[in-house]
Structure 1
């Protein structure tokens, strides 16, 4: 894990401690996996792809992976198709909450995050 990702995880842990939330090993694993995926996405930035393009690919990958995860346990495609609306509702609700939480966090830490983004830009 890079120092930036470790710092990000520590910031999240500190915020959770301040909010009196116990940081479980499962939560640490969750944030470490997310930071690893964000690191991979950041590594795609460059002259061939800007952040909007990488973000679109990341969103598509999340949707594709989620569809695969949602299909686990179904035996027939017809049964899976019948649950489509409920599956979409579940994932949209989860994404909406995570996006809202992260937008709030970003707004509250805007100056710090903007500086990190400037530091992370690849040399061109």
Structure 2
């Protein structure tokens, strides 16, 4: 899997955005390091999704005093994270479609 998307709009990213992509790249690098004979990309991706969900639940719990208060906000929290993920996934699928030959190794290049 590749890391940060091809960003042609603004070659000078803000420090916050640059740090965001650097953290994401580190996580992608860790996920890629777990690929091998015992675990393929689908398995690693499933673990990564679980980790994101687990971490998001932890982040979402910050500021609540009682579990029942967190539970009362569950649907709103799920809606927030789902909307964020949907947009990020859509943006990255667009990037992969636009840069398919650069990002995806098909049998054609290996001949």
TM-score (norm 2): 0.88
5+ residue gaps, structure 2, are none
Q: CA deviation at 1:16?
A: 3.0
Instruction: Confirm or deny that 1:17 pairs with 2:10.
Output: yes
Structure that is richer in helix per residue: 1
Number of residue-to-residue matches in the alignment = 106
**Higher RCO, 1 or 2 (CA under 8 Å, sep at least 6)?**
2
5+ residue gaps, structure 1, are 119-124
Q: Secondary structure at the match of 2:104?
A: helix
Compute the RMSD of aligned alpha carbons: 2.0
* Cα shift readout 1:7-62 (whole Å, capped 9, x = no counterpart): x47x43xx2317xxx62100000000000000000000001100000000000000
Q: Secondary structure at the match of 2:10?
A: helix
Alignment of 1:48-67 (within 5 A): 48-67=38-57
CA–CA distance in structure 1, aligned partners of residues 95 and 82 of structure 2: 20
Question: Partner residue of 1:72?
Answer: 62
Instruction: Confirm or deny that 1:29 pairs with 2:19.
Output: yes
CA–CA distance in structure 2, aligned partners of residues 32 and 87 of structure 1: 26
Instruction: Confirm or deny that 1:114 pairs with 2:107.
Output: no
Q: Runs in 1 of length 4+ with deviation above 3 angstroms? A: none
TM-score (norm 1): 0.79
Question: Partner residue of 1:121?
Answer: none
